[in-house]
Amino acid sequence: MPWDERVAVLARGLRDALLSHRDGARLHAGTFVSGPHTLRLGNALLAALTDAGLPRAQATGTVFGLLHFVLGHTIEEQARDELRAAKQWDPERVVAAAGDFPELAAGLAAFETASPDERFADGVGGILDGVRWRVGVRKGGRDSASGAVS
């Protein structure tokens, strides 16, 4: 599988594992997990990112950034699920609260119509796009300041 597909599959797998337990993401947050499955996941992500062309140190930082995204996204997803179940989540009120900030209000309106799966895929996609850009800069295919193809 190409490196970016491997990363996406691994990120989805972690999210699925966290979602399979009530408060799974909250329980995992703030822990230092050094079990074999966690280490295997980190190693597989690191291998995929170095295969993409990132130097090991940059790939390692990207692994942590990706894992933090997965964890944070899943904490928020599980919290919203709880609030929805208690009838305490009102997306329209969230959008209305941003009424004095039209860009934010429009963004929130679109954000609230997307499913958690779509929002997750978009976030992982943004991280992968960043990796692609960094690899392109390293290979000399893009201007590092503007991102323009040279």
Please write the tens of the pLDDT for every residue from 28-78. Answer: 887 877 888 889 999 999 999 999 999 999 999 999 999 999 999 999 999
Report d(CA 92, CA 109) in Å as an integer: 8
Q: Tell me if 56 is assigned to some domain.
A: yes
Domain range enclosing 43: 3-138
* Whether pLDDT at 127 is above 50: yes
Q: Give the pTM.
A: 0.85
Q: Tell me if 115 is assigned to some domain.
A: yes
- For residue 126, the domain's CATH number is 1.10.357.10
Q: Tell me if 11 is assigned to some domain.
A: yes
Q: Tell me if 16 is assigned to some domain.
A: yes
Report d(CA 80, CA 84) in Å as an integer: 6
Q: What is the DSSP letter of 101?
A: -
Q: Tell me if 146 is assigned to some domain.
A: no
Report d(CA 55, CA 76) in Å as an integer: 31
Domain count, the chain: 1
Q: Which two tokens stand for residue 77?
A: 């997803």
What DSSP string runs through 22-43? TTHHHHHTT----SHHHHHHHH
pLDDT band of 132, cuts 50, 70, 90? very high
Using DSSP's 3-state secondary structure scheme, residue 149 falls into strand
Q: Tell me if 144 is assigned to some domain.
A: no
Q: Tell me if 147 is assigned to some domain.
A: no
